[in-house]
């Protein structure tokens, strides 16, 4: 009896602990951000000169899960006839060629540099740190009650000759 019980317990020990991949939560978080970013492309209109070639999303900073998720999105979605191009950018100067510039929270200090480099261009500047919508970013991600939300500064968007749909404004926390 004891010998048989031992066999049984061994089987159970092998099978009873499930494992969580380390980056699963980061992937889910990145997915939410990617859905938001795709929504931005539906509710914001870029000038005519930006409607040719690839639709470039530049990520300033390092986030493997986010870039992976944006690349997945790029594989299945387009902006009108434009294909997505996801770029990891290292310097503010590279942001000038982007339709959307997403400055990751660790790189928030580069916001003034980015603003300086994109003068006369039409990027949507997206940030990820509290208070940045008042400091030049068009859309800023923030947390409210565990939930990922966005705050939107219409002035900061429109000064780059972008048109923002009222639907997006209504679904955001407005910053003036």
Partner 1 sequence: MSKIKGTIILGFLLLIAVFSNAQQSRVTAAYAFLQQSKLDSAKANIDAAVVHPETQTDGQAWYIRGFVYKTIYNQNEKGNKQSSARIEALVSFKKSVSIDPSEENTQENIKNIKYLATTLYNDAAASLDTIDYKIAIKNFDLFREYYLLVDPSKENFKQKEIDFSNAMGSVYTRIYDGDRKVRQEFLVLAKASYNKVLAIDPNNISANYNMGILYYNQAVHLINQSDYDLDIVALNDVQDNSINLFKSSLPFMEKAYSLDPNRRETLLGLSGIYFSLNEKEKSNEFKQKLEQIGNK
* Residues within the interface to partner 1 (CB under 8 A): 1, 4-5, 7-9, 11-12, 15-20, 22, 24-29, 31-32, 34-36, 38-39, 73, 76-77, 143, 145-148, 150, 168, 171
Least Cβ distance, residue 153 to partner 1 (angstroms): 17
Lookup: tokens for 164: 């923002």
Which lies closer to partner 1 via its Cβ, residue 119 or residue 147? 147
Which lies closer to partner 1 via its Cβ, residue 35 or residue 64? 35
Least Cβ distance, residue 107 to partner 1 (angstroms): 16
Short-list 156, 122, 114, 115, CA closest to 139: 156
CA distances to 35, 65, 104 from 42, rounded to whole Å, are 11, 23, 22
Least Cβ distance, residue 120 to partner 1 (angstroms): 30
Which lies closer to partner 1 via its Cβ, residue 54 or residue 148? 148
Least Cβ distance, residue 101 to partner 1 (angstroms): 19
**What gap in Å lies between CA 170 and CA 176, rounded to an integer?**
14
DSSP states of 109-133: GGHHHHHHHTTTS-PEEEE-STTGG
Which lies closer to partner 1 via its Cβ, residue 49 or residue 144? 144
Which lies closer to partner 1 via its Cβ, residue 81 or residue 146? 146
**What gap in Å lies between CA 20 and CA 35, rounded to an integer?**
24
Contact 152, 174 (CB under 8 A): yes
**What gap in Å lies between CA 58 and CA 23, rounded to an integer?**
22
**What gap in Å lies between CA 96 and CA 88, rounded to an integer?**
13
Least Cβ distance, residue 157 to partner 1 (angstroms): 16
């Amino acid at each position: 009896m004891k010998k048989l019980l031992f066999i049984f317990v061994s089987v159970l020990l092998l099978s009873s602990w499930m494992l969580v991949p380390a980056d699963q939560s980061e992937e889910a978080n990145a997915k939410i951000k990617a859905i938001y970013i795709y929504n931005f492309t539906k509710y914001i209109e870029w000038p005519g000169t930006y409607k040719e070639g690839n639709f470039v999303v530049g990520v300033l900073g390092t986030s493997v899960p986010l870039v992976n998720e944006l690349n997945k999105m790029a594989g299945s979605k387009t902006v009108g006839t434009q294909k997505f191009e996801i770029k990891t950018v290292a310097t503010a100067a590279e942001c000038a060629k982007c339709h959307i510039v997403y400055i990751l929270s660790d790189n928030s200090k580069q916001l003034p540099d980015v603003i300086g480099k994109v003068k006369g261009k039409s990027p949507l500047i997206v940030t990820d740190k509290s208070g940045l919508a008042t400091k030049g970013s068009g859309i800023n991600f923030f947390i409210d009650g565990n939930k990922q939300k966005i705050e939107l500064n219409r002035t900061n968007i429109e000064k780059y000759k972008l048109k923002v749909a009222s639907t997006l404004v209504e679904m955001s926390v407005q910053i003036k």
